[in-house]
Amino acid sequence: MTVSQIDEEVAKLLELKVQLGGDEGRHQFTLKTAKGTRDYNPKQMAIREKVFNTIISCFKRHGAENIDTPVFELKETLTGKYGEDSKLIYDLKDQGGELLSLRYDLTVPFARYLAMNKVTNIKRYHIAKVYRRDNPAMTRGRYREFYQCDFDIAGQYDPMIPDAECLKIVHEILSELELGDFRIKVNDRRILDGMFAVCGVPDDKFRTICSTVDKLDKMSWEDVRSEMVKEKGLSEEAADQIGQYVSLQGGMDLAERLLQDAKMSQSKQACAGLTDMKQLFSYLQLFQVTDKVVFDLSLARGLDYYTGVIYEAILTQTGPVPKAEEGVSVGSVAGGGRYDGLVGMFDPKGRKVPCVGVSIGIERVFSIMEQKAEASAEKVRTTETQVMVASAQKNLLEERLRLTAELWNAGIKAEVMYKKNPKLLSQLQHCEDSGIPLVAILGEQELKDGVVKLRTVHSREEIDVSRAKLVEEIKRRTSDV
């Protein structure tokens, strides 16, 4: 039997199953979302919209284009790209067609897009959800479906300029979101690898030791050293030598010092990374962001595909409520780096397209903003309605509908109650609950006089406005706000 014959038979059997009523036997009430996923209610969506607007404005300020890709890729596209994390990929059921998997990040789809469309230069952002079957015991509180917000620059350019722009963007976004103080740690894969080499780490252990060093943001050095020696089989000498370096932090000065370091300078790779690090800092000075950026030798970052500079932004205070249970570096809100080899893995001729980018940890940002909203007295509005069209008297539904349509036609955001004879009090209560600032009240006498009572909800002040001037008056008042 060939693979396609098997596919055909499977498809027929599945159809037969549907005819038999398939899995439809159990009729229970399923009132939950899938594990690790959640709905966003209107308040959360309002916060989310504000955050996206801030971030997208920043991306646009820097000339980025926007793309979108499908939620699932061919399984083969994702195979071999995520190392140990591959087991966290959600697969789709084999229903007789192509084997598919849900995207794990936005970077691999981006590389596939570049290769597929033979794009050599692009500056793009992409905001979308990604999927990871995290083991809940290990990462309590982490979602399996979550937003990623990526910005990447692809193309062959003079070194470190686009890398510096990515960091400038992170700095701008974190400043504008007002999440409190932050730091951006930078390092370089070549410096790390060079450091491992001169410390005596065997080549074949580089990646696995790198994973362990990456845990320094949540584990102590003792525990990290212990894992390197006991679990990963590294010699104690090598571990200690690593220990000397990973405690170092600084700026351009540290890069200069390490270039002079007797051991480190033996590695050509490390020297290349250190030279670029100096260049990076000179650009960061011109971009005026060095106040928050620190060259930190302990930064490792999990993913295999980074080839050059790597960075991670953390919040230094967590605001009013500490987020202790996240299981990730408590304050991490963004991360990224350079990955020059990824697109080449997709291109049939192996043509390389160098890339550098950053991913904003949106879920963390949402979480912080939600907490701030809870703590603050100010209500988050879930609608943008400007006017409620109301009446205190009976039998005025037609008039209310007529006026509401006039307001909509003039572009004014208006609501009307879906009741023939609502009580004025309920209409006013709705305004209080939703934060609607104005009420246009109709009455028999007002209709005769050709006016509408316009009431300001919070002050309860009312004035009569002529029907003809109502739209103008509402627009004037709502633009002041």
Query: Has 306 been labeled as part of a binding site?
Result: yes
8 A C-beta contact, residue 263 and residue 194: no
Would you count residue 351 as binding its own copies (CB under 8 A)? no
8 A C-beta contact, residue 309 and residue 356: yes
Query: Has 305 been labeled as part of a binding site?
Result: yes
Query: Has 477 been labeled as part of a binding site?
Result: no
Would you count residue 112 as binding its own copies (CB under 8 A)? yes
Instruction: Name the DSSP letter for residue 90.
Output: P
Residues 432-451 that bind its own copies (CB under 8 A): 434
Binder to its own copies among 53, 99, 161, 395 (CB under 8 A)?
99
Would you count residue 139 as binding its own copies (CB under 8 A)? no
Residue 66 or residue 247: which is nearer to its own copies going by CB? 66
Would you count residue 166 as binding its own copies (CB under 8 A)? no
Query: Has 132 been labeled as part of a binding site?
Result: yes
Could you tell me how far CA 175 lies from the centroid of its own chain? 16
Would you count residue 375 as binding its own copies (CB under 8 A)? no
Residue 75 or residue 232: which is nearer to its own copies going by CB? 75
Hey, CA dihedral for 54, 59, 61, 67, is it positive or negative?
Answer: negative
What is d(CA 300, CA 218) in angstroms, rounded to the nearest whole number?
12
Binding segment for its own copies (CB under 8 A), chosen from 26-34, 251-259, 298-306, 321-329, is 26-34
Edge to edge, the sheet with strand 182-188 lists 65-66, 122-131, 145-154, 355-360, 332-338, 309-315, 182-188, 293-296, 249-250
8 A C-beta contact, residue 453 and residue 365: no
Cβ 147 to its own copies, closest distance in Å? 10
Query: Has 90 been labeled as part of a binding site?
Result: no
Cβ 109 to its own copies, closest distance in Å? 8
Other Cβ atoms within 10 Å of 114 Cβ, number: 25
Instruction: Name the DSSP letter for residue 324.
Output: G
Work out the end-to-end distance of the chain between its first and last CA atoms, rounded to an integer number of angstroms: 71
* Number of residues in contact with its own copies under rule CB under 8 A: 100
Residue 6 or residue 375: which is nearer to its own copies going by CB? 6
- Alpha helical stretches, state H, 322-409: 342-346, 362-375, 397-409
Would you count residue 27 as binding its own copies (CB under 8 A)? yes
Binder to its own copies among 291, 378, 398, 480 (CB under 8 A)?
398
- Alpha helical stretches, state H, 247-298: 252-260, 268-286
* Whole-angstrom Cα Rg for the chain: 29
Would you count residue 415 as binding its own copies (CB under 8 A)? yes
Binding segment for its own copies (CB under 8 A), chosen from 67-75, 165-173, 297-305, 464-472, is 67-75
- Using DSSP bridges, classify how beta strands 451-456 and 438-442 pair: parallel, antiparallel or unpaired: antiparallel
- Structural tokens at position 327: 């299981």
Would you count residue 395 as binding its own copies (CB under 8 A)? no
Would you count residue 213 as binding its own copies (CB under 8 A)? no
Binder to its own copies among 402, 423, 458, 469 (CB under 8 A)?
402
63 Cβ partners below 8 Å, 6+ apart? Answer: 123
Would you count residue 35 as binding its own copies (CB under 8 A)? yes
- Structural tokens at position 246: 């990973």
Would you count residue 268 as binding its own copies (CB under 8 A)? no
Of 273, 251, 148, nearest to 198 by C-alpha is 273
Would you count residue 12 as binding its own copies (CB under 8 A)? yes
Binder to its own copies among 260, 288, 409, 459 (CB under 8 A)?
409
Binder to its own copies among 47, 51, 55, 67 (CB under 8 A)?
67
Residue 145 or residue 261: which is nearer to its own copies going by CB? 145
Binder to its own copies among 84, 92, 244, 432 (CB under 8 A)?
92
Cβ 76 to its own copies, closest distance in Å? 5
What is d(CA 344, CA 31) in angstroms, rounded to the nearest whole number?
45
Binder to its own copies among 75, 205, 278, 475 (CB under 8 A)?
75
What is d(CA 125, CA 294) in angstroms, rounded to the nearest whole number?
25
Would you count residue 29 as binding its own copies (CB under 8 A)? yes
Query: Has 402 been labeled as part of a binding site?
Result: no
| Site map 37..66 versus its own copies, x via CB under 8 A | xxxxxx--xx-xx---------------xx
8 A C-beta contact, residue 261 and residue 273: no
H/E element, 245: helix 236-246
Residues in the annotated binding site: 105-107, 132, 148, 152, 301, 305-306
Residues in the annotated binding site for L-histidine: 105-107, 132, 148, 152, 301, 305-306
